[in-house]
Structure 1
């Protein structure tokens, strides 16, 4: 099924770090074979290029602005807001350059998503998602990013100035509360992926519209990176959609990273868990297949992005089109 649409519905991927990869030296305008032959990112075999996305039938994705914080593993990461903002602005410029070159179309409104899905433009439609809010100076800075096309913000990655996050427990900060309140006022959707439980529930109390662009089920894999059942229900209570992540250690506990021992059926277990909990109408794709890992850490049978539709064969036939893209299409056209 690789590269084929399901029941005429195009693929919509809820999470791809396209510009982040470009600034790491990957030229996504190349074919994958050419990119892999000179891949500048060591130890992570590239899986995503624009041609791979087309081959998979992907018409739209949520493309991130992701600023990487400083750490022992990322000595070039940001140490303050100004550095985080500079990373995000450089990525924004990358999206603009790609758009100028005809590789993608930035989509800001639901009617633009609907027209792109119905049309024949071969360019990838991209809705901008900010992953980790440190590039935002404060709540008063939010209109700048909205004008730039950002329609969703995840306040956390690890800990940020706004929220506790993955492996960094903590609530919303005072600045985080102000930011989420401003997001509610201005119609910016909150991406719950990466939020620590305390921060998640603080945010939920403020009443934002929520999605989880890339978050698997904690019932299958322990840890605060994944959604508890209660969190998944809260996301869906706002009408939200949850995207499934294709990273091995997010799919099955106790696996050896990169050992290629995770099956697509294991990822389908997450889909079925969410479906039992909140219904198939809220289960979608958020592959994150270029998000700091390569083909070494995808499920068996997924060696490059065009293989992604193979996952859909593990799902009930009557729900494949919805998970492939129908659920994201419904949400995007209704809420952007």
Structure 2
């Protein structure tokens, strides 16, 4: 069984990928060029993925898409369109949206052939107008919000250093008050530490170690300790250049043992109980940029042979299951 902290399912569907197809059928007619798909809903079922965090990810203008947003209205439109994808899939019996820790517990205790459970995660908060708009998204099932991707109206992010904006501090305060979890992935250091001062519940759904790969996309050891001290989880990302320092666009294949090194580094800092999956597969990269031996989602299981036997079940699903059923 697997639980994954980060999959851009609806984003890929709106890019023209029919995720209802078996992976081979999706690949045969894939409209996304130069990124061999690794994820489809039947493929996730074959891998025994029971639950994932499914994103609402609005792509900004200039980030590889001519149709990216340039204002709040554009970001909101993208997120609402993706939300509609999840709702349609649920109506079709393909997924089950999980809005509470109790719902997750019931789902995990249910039959193994149940639809994929999806917890909604907003990656980059620009679809949210302001702190007063957060309840709108909570009512529609969003349970986790990452304020940043690159720079947003709320925070400094990947490749865009900076603190929380005044609007960002208000949003994080509202998240704390409404019990919405903060995803620290993509937050710049200054924004991360300001957010920690506010005191929301925090996780990092998909973030590798800066001790092994430089850059503000990754977590410093102090950030790792802070997330763990707050009871949070950290998901491992299956992108080669997030595993080993590589130039963007590199097609160098990285052994899975090097991803396991990130896991072992985290475990040495805070214990295995805070280490989990956040694969981000098909999150803007395809099989060309995944570790050796991971050509499709079912290959994720290959990671566990690189981990200590006593840690495998926790990283595969148990650690996320504990967090989801106690803290969501």
- Aligning the two structures, in what range does the TM-score lie when normalised by the shorter sequence? over 0.9
Separation in structure 1 between the aligned mates of residue 318 and residue 78 of structure 2, nearest angstrom:
32
Out of 292, 296, 303, the residue aligned to residue 304 of structure 1 is 296
TM-score normalised over the length of structure 1: 0.96
CA 50–72 in structure 1, closer or farther in 2 if over 3 Å, else same: closer
Show the counterpart of 1:81: 72
Whether the 8 Å CA contact 1:218–1:229 is kept in 2: the answer is yes
1:295 corresponds, among 283, 287, 297, to 287
Secondary structure of the corresponding residue to residue 51 of structure 1:
helix
Structure 1 residue 231 corresponds to structure 2 residue 218: no
- Tell me, yes or no, if structure 1 residue 44 matches structure 2 residue 35: yes
Q: Which residue of 2 is the match for residue 281 of structure 1?
A: 273
For the 8 Å contact 2:50–2:117, the answer to whether it is kept is yes
Per-residue CA deviation, residues 174-222 of structure 1 (Å, 9 max, x unaligned), is 0000000000000000000000000001111101110000000000000
Let me know the Cα RMSD of the aligned residues.
0.9
Q: Distance in 2 between matches of 1:78 and 1:123?
A: 32
- The aligned runs of 1:168-247 (5 Å cut-off) are 168-247=160-239
Q: Secondary structure at the match of 2:162?
A: strand
Gaps of 5+ in 2: none
CA contact (8 A) 2:253 2:289 kept: no
Q: Provide the residue aligned with 2:99 in structure 1.
A: 108
Residue 313 of structure 1 corresponds to which residue in structure 2? Answer: 305
Say if 1:144 and 1:72 are closer, same or farther in 2 by CA, change over 3 A.
closer
Question: Does residue 151 of structure 2 align to residue 164 of structure 1?
Answer: no
Secondary structure, in 3 states, of the residue corresponding to 2:37?
Answer: coil
Distance 1:254 1:81 in 2: 33
**Number of equivalenced pairs:** 327
Aligned partner of 1:35 in structure 2 is: 26
In the other structure, the counterpart of 1:132 is 124
Q: Distance in 1 between matches of 2:263 and 2:247?
A: 19
Q: Following the alignment from structure 1 to structure 2, what is the Cα–Cα distance between the partners of residues 279 and 72?
A: 36
Give SS of 2:251's match: coil
Q: Deviations over 1:117-140 (max 9, x none)?
A: 110152000000000000000000
Which SS does the other structure have where 2:156 is aligned?
A: strand
CA distance in 1 between counterparts of 2:21 and 2:52 reads 19
C-alpha separation in 2, matches of 1:140 and 1:181? 11
Alpha-carbon deviation of 1:57?
A: 1.1
CA contact (8 A) 1:284 1:324 kept: yes
For residues 81-100 of structure 1, the aligned pairs below 5 Å read: 81-100=72-91
Deviations 1:31-75 (A, max 9, x none): 100110110100000000011111111000000000000006322
2-structure distance, mates of 1:229, 1:185:
28
Task: Confirm or deny: 8 A CA contact 2:253 2:290 kept in the other structure.
Answer: no
Residue 310 of structure 1 aligns to a residue whose secondary structure is helix
Structure 1 segments (4+ residues) deviating >6 Å: none
Provide TM-score, normalisation by structure 2: 0.98
SS for the counterpart of 2:6 is: strand
User: Are residues 72 and 246 of structure 1, via their aligned partners in 2, closer, same or farther at CA, if it must alter by over 3 Å?
Assistant: closer
8 Å contact 1:258–1:296 — kept in the other structure?
Answer: no
Note closer, same or farther for the CA distance 1:187–1:181 as it changes in structure 2 (3 Å cut): same
Aligned counterparts of 1:256 and 1:161: Cα–Cα separation in 2: 26
